[in-house]
Amino acid sequence: MLAKMNRPLGVKVTAIYAGSYGLVCLFNGTVLLWLTTLSMNELKTLSVATGIEAITFGCYLLITFYGIWSLKSWGRLMMIWFSVSSIALALIPLVLDWHELQVYPLNAMLSLSIIVSLIIIFYLSKAHIKELFTT
């Protein structure tokens, strides 16, 4: 129980990152779904799907926040899985060589996303951090 009271700063930062990212996804998804009710264009189906996807990610990340904050092993695993999938999704446009489309800020953001995800995976995989998380 003492370990739960004295969470390392890195665990707190990771949990807050997951929670705040989850809230942003929920907000963006909700706004996107609301905006689709106002428009009648051909992208409406794609917008609805993207909104639902954002809300799903938001819920996933809020559950992950709870798991990490309460030092549950499943929360740690959920965050590692999310980070691995974030790396994979960020690599797609980088590998497809989208810099020809002159979206340099996108490439910088994707690179930053990969770096943050690698740091999270590395941190949560450390032996002394792993020991903090219970079932």
The predicted structure's pLDDT at residue 102: 58
**In this structure, are residues 4 and 71 in contact, taking their beta carbons and an 8 Å threshold?**
yes
In a domain, 29, yes or no: yes
| Ordered mean pLDDT values, 10 residues apiece, the chain (135 residues) | 69 96 95 81 78 94 96 96 93 71 70 94 95 84
Owning domain of residue 77: 2-130
Query: What is residue 5's predicted lDDT score, i.e. its pLDDT?
Result: 60
Residue 33 lies in a domain: yes
Task: Specify if 135 maps to a domain.
Answer: no
Q: Report how far residue 62's alpha carbon sits from residue 90's, in angstroms, rounded to the nearest whole number.
A: 21
Torsion angles phi and psi, residue 91, rounded to 5: -75, -25
pLDDT at 99: 55
- Report the domain count for the chain: 1
Is residue 32 in a domain?
yes
Q: Which pLDDT does position 35 carry in this prediction?
A: 83
Task: Count CB atoms within 10 A of the CB of residue 47.
Answer: 15
